[in-house]
Amino acid sequence: MIIVMVPHAAEDSIERVVKEIERMGAQAHLSRGQFRTIIGAVGEEGNIDQNHLATLDGVEKVVPIMKPYKLASREFHEEDSVIEIGGGSVPKVKVGGPHAMCIAGPCAVENREMLFKIARHVRDGGATVLRGGAFKPRTSPYSFQGHGETALKWMRECGDELGMPICTEVMDTRQVELIERYTDSFQIGARNMQNFDLLREVGKTRKPVLLKRGLAATVKDWLLSAEYILSQGNRGVILCERGIKTFEDSIRYTLDVTSIPVARQWSHLPMIVDPSHAAGKRDYVAALALAGMAAGAHGIIVEVHYCPSEAQCDGPQALLPETFKEMMGQLRQVAAIYKREFTDAGVLV
Amino acid sequence: MIIVMVPHAAEDSIERVVKEIERMGAQAHLSRGQFRTIIGAVGEEGNIDQNHLATLDGVEKVVPIMKPYKLASREFHEEDSVIEIGGGSVPKVKVGGPHAMCIAGPCAVENREMLFKIARHVRDGGATVLRGGAFKPRTSPYSFQGHGETALKWMRECGDELGMPICTEVMDTRQVELIERYTDSFQIGARNMQNFDLLREVGKTRKPVLLKRGLAATVKDWLLSAEYILSQGNRGVILCERGIKTFEDSIRYTLDVTSIPVARQWSHLPMIVDPSHAAGKRDYVAALALAGMAAGAHGIIVEVHYCPSEAQCDGPQALLPETFKEMMGQLRQVAAIYKREFTDAGVLV
Amino acid sequence: MIIVMVPHAAEDSIERVVKEIERMGAQAHLSRGQFRTIIGAVGEEGNIDQNHLATLDGVEKVVPIMKPYKLASREFHEEDSVIEIGGGSVPKVKVGGPHAMCIAGPCAVENREMLFKIARHVRDGGATVLRGGAFKPRTSPYSFQGHGETALKWMRECGDELGMPICTEVMDTRQVELIERYTDSFQIGARNMQNFDLLREVGKTRKPVLLKRGLAATVKDWLLSAEYILSQGNRGVILCERGIKTFEDSIRYTLDVTSIPVARQWSHLPMIVDPSHAAGKRDYVAALALAGMAAGAHGIIVEVHYCPSEAQCDGPQALLPETFKEMMGQLRQVAAIYKREFTDAGVLV
Amino acid sequence: MIIVMVPHAAEDSIERVVKEIERMGAQAHLSRGQFRTIIGAVGEEGNIDQNHLATLDGVEKVVPIMKPYKLASREFHEEDSVIEIGGGSVPKVKVGGPHAMCIAGPCAVENREMLFKIARHVRDGGATVLRGGAFKPRTSPYSFQGHGETALKWMRECGDELGMPICTEVMDTRQVELIERYTDSFQIGARNMQNFDLLREVGKTRKPVLLKRGLAATVKDWLLSAEYILSQGNRGVILCERGIKTFEDSIRYTLDVTSIPVARQWSHLPMIVDPSHAAGKRDYVAALALAGMAAGAHGIIVEVHYCPSEAQCDGPQALLPETFKEMMGQLRQVAAIYKREFTDAGVLV
Question: How big is the CA angle at D198 (ends D193 and D204), to the nearest 5 degrees?
Answer: 120
Contact A218 C248 (CB under 8 A): yes
Of chain B, the percentage scoring pLDDT greater than 90 comes to 73
Contact C29 B33 (CB under 8 A): no
Predicted pLDDT at B57: 86
Of chain D, the percentage scoring pLDDT greater than 70 comes to 98
- The partner residue sitting opposite D258, judged by closest CB among B216, B251, B296, is B251
Q: What is the mean pLDDT of chain B?
A: 92
Predicted pLDDT at B185: 98
A283 touches A275 (CB < 8 A): no
Q: Give the separation between CA D295 and CA D304, rounded to whole angstroms.
A: 23
Contact A36 D65 (CB under 8 A): yes
Phi-psi region of C146 (alpha: psi -120 to 50; beta: other; left: phi over 0): left
Cβ of B339: how many Cβ atoms within 10 Å? Answer: 8
Residue B330 pLDDT > 90, yes or no? yes
Render pLDDT for B132-149 as a digit per residue (tens, 0 to 9).
999 988 888 888 889 999
Sort out which chain A residues have CB atoms less than 8 A from C333's CB and list them: 333-334, 336-337
Specify the length of chain C in residues. Answer: 349
B244 touches B235 (CB < 8 A): no
Q: Which of A221, A304, A225 is nearest to A262 (CA)?
A: A221
Strand-pair partners of C210: C187, C238
- The partner residue sitting opposite C265, judged by closest CB among A216, A259, A283, is A283
Exposure b/e, A258-283, CB count within 10 A at least 16 = b? bbbbbbbebbbbbbbbbbbbbbbbbe
Q: Give the separation between CA A100 and CA B44, rounded to whole angstroms.
A: 47
Chain C: give the shortest CA distance to residue D214, in Å: 9
Predicted pLDDT at B319: 95
**What single-letter DSSP state applies at residue B216?**
T
Predicted pLDDT at A349: 39
D318 touches D275 (CB < 8 A): no
For the residues D120-140, what does the mean pLDDT come to? Answer: 94
Residue type, B108: A
| Interface residue of D24, D191, D212 to substitute, partner C, most C CBs within 10 Å | D191
Crossing angle between the packed helical segments D112-125 and D149-162, to the nearest 10 degrees: 40
Residue D346 pLDDT > 70, yes or no? no
Who has greater pLDDT, D15 or D25? Answer: D15
Predicted pLDDT at D348: 44
Burial class of residue B325, CB neighbours in 10 A (0-12, 13-18, 19+): middle
For the residues C162-180, what does the mean pLDDT come to? Answer: 97
Phi-psi region of D63 (alpha: psi -120 to 50; beta: other; left: phi over 0): beta
Sort out which chain A residues have CB atoms less than 8 A from D43's CB and list them: 33-34
Sort out which chain D residues have CB atoms less than 8 A from C319's CB and list them: none
Pairing of strands C99-105, C90-95: unpaired
Going by pLDDT thresholds of 50, 70 and 90, the confidence category of residue D4 is confident
Going by pLDDT thresholds of 50, 70 and 90, the confidence category of residue D296 is very high
Biggest CA pair distance of chain D: 76
Interface of B with A (CB under 8 A): 46, 51-52, 54-56, 68-69, 137-142, 171-174, 191-192, 194-198, 200, 214-216, 221, 224-225, 227-228, 231, 244-245, 308-309, 311, 313-316
Sort out which chain C residues have CB atoms less than 8 A from A261's CB and list them: 279, 283-284, 287-288
A32 touches A4 (CB < 8 A): no
- The partner residue sitting opposite A29, judged by closest CB among D29, D246, D249, is D29
**Which residues in chain A land under pLDDT 70?**
345-349
Chain D: give the shortest CA distance to residue C84, in Å: 25
**What single-letter DSSP state applies at residue C341?**
E
Render pLDDT for B196-246 as a digit per residue (tens, 0 to 9).
999 999 999 999 999 999 999 999 999 999 999 999 999 999 999 999 999
- The partner residue sitting opposite D315, judged by closest CB among C55, C68, C138, is C55
Q: Which residue of C has its CA nearest to B244?
A: C247
Q: Give the separation between CA A96 and CA A297, rounded to whole angstroms.
A: 9
Of chain B, the percentage scoring pLDDT greater than 70 comes to 98
Sort out which chain D residues have CB atoms less than 8 A from A75's CB and list them: 7, 35
For the residues D290-300, what does the mean pLDDT come to? Answer: 98
Chain C: give the shortest CA distance to residue B114, in Å: 36
Predicted pLDDT at A296: 98
- The partner residue sitting opposite A290, judged by closest CB among C247, C248, C295, is C295
Exposure b/e, D154-179, CB count within 10 A at least 16 = b? bbbebbeebbbbbbbbbbbbebbebb
Q: Which chains touch A (3 or more CB pairs under 8 A)?
A: B, C, D
Cβ of B337: how many Cβ atoms within 10 Å? Answer: 18
Who has greater pLDDT, C239 or A145? Answer: C239
D292 touches D241 (CB < 8 A): yes
For the residues D201-211, what does the mean pLDDT come to? Answer: 98
- The partner residue sitting opposite C65, judged by closest CB among B29, B36, B43, is B36
Sort out which chain A residues have CB atoms less than 8 A from D66's CB and list them: 35-36
Render pLDDT for D50-71 as a digit per residue (tens, 0 to 9).
878 888 888 888 888 778 899 9
Q: Which chains touch D (3 or more CB pairs under 8 A)?
A: A, B, C
Which residues lie closer than 8 Å to A213 by C-beta, 6 or more apart? A190, A193, A222, A239, A240, A241, A242, A244, A256, A259
Predicted pLDDT at C40: 83
Pairing of strands D237-241, D271-273: parallel
Render pLDDT for B282-317 as a digit per residue (tens, 0 to 9).
999 999 999 999 999 999 999 999 988 777 777 788
Contact D256 B254 (CB under 8 A): yes
| Interface residue of A3, A6, A38, A256 to substitute, partner D, most D CBs within 10 Å | A38
Q: Which of A210, A338, A344 is nearest to A274 (CA)?
A: A210
For the residues D236-248, what does the mean pLDDT come to? Answer: 97
Sort out which chain B residues have CB atoms less than 8 A from A244's CB and list them: 216
* Phi, psi (rounded to 5 degrees) for A71: -60, -25
For the residues B97-110, what does the mean pLDDT come to? Answer: 96
Sort out which chain B residues have CB atoms less than 8 A from C31's CB and list them: 29, 40, 42
Predicted pLDDT at C345: 60
Q: What is the mean pLDDT of chain D?
A: 92
* Phi, psi (rounded to 5 degrees) for A75: -65, -35
Residue type, D281: K
Strand-pair partners of B341: B99
B38 touches C4 (CB < 8 A): no
Interface of A with B (CB under 8 A): 46, 51-52, 54-56, 68-69, 137-142, 171-174, 191-192, 194-198, 200, 214-216, 221, 224-225, 227-228, 231, 244-245, 308-309, 311, 313-316
Q: Give the separation between CA D245 and CA D188, rounded to whole angstroms.
A: 18
| C-alpha A272: how far from chain center | 8
Q: Give the separation between CA B120 and CA B105, rounded to whole angstroms.
A: 9
A215 touches A241 (CB < 8 A): no
Who has greater pLDDT, D197 or D314? Answer: D197
Q: Which chains touch B (3 or more CB pairs under 8 A)?
A: A, C, D
Burial class of residue C97, CB neighbours in 10 A (0-12, 13-18, 19+): middle
Q: Which residue of A has its CA nearest to C288?
A: A295
Provide the CB-side half-sphere exposure for C250 (13 A, CA). 21
Residue type, C76: F
* CA–CA distances in Å: residue C48 to residues B35, C5, C24: 16, 17, 6
Q: Which of C184, C298, C314 is nearest to C241 (CA)?
A: C298
Provide the CB-side half-sphere exposure for B65 (13 A, CA). 32
Predicted pLDDT at B345: 60
* Phi, psi (rounded to 5 degrees) for D244: -115, 165
Going by pLDDT thresholds of 50, 70 and 90, the confidence category of residue D345 is low
CA dihedral over A122, A127, A129, A133, signed as positive or negative: negative
Q: Give the separation between CA B281 and CA A33, rounded to whole angstroms.
A: 25
* CA–CA distances in Å: residue B32 to residues A35, C28, C41: 71, 11, 10
Render pLDDT for C117-145 as a digit per residue (tens, 0 to 9).
999 999 999 999 999 999 988 888 888 88
Which residues lie closer than 8 Å to B212 by C-beta, 6 or more apart? B187, B188, B189, B190, B193, B240, B242, B274
* CA–CA distances in Å: residue C312 to residues A152, C108, C114, C147: 60, 7, 11, 11
Q: Give the separation between CA D285 and CA D326, rounded to whole angstroms.
A: 12
Q: What is the ipTM of this complex?
A: 0.92
Render pLDDT for C85-100 as a digit per residue (tens, 0 to 9).
999 999 999 999 999 9
Chain D: give the shortest CA distance to residue B255, in Å: 6
- The partner residue sitting opposite C294, judged by closest CB among A251, A262, A293, is A293
Predicted pLDDT at B348: 44
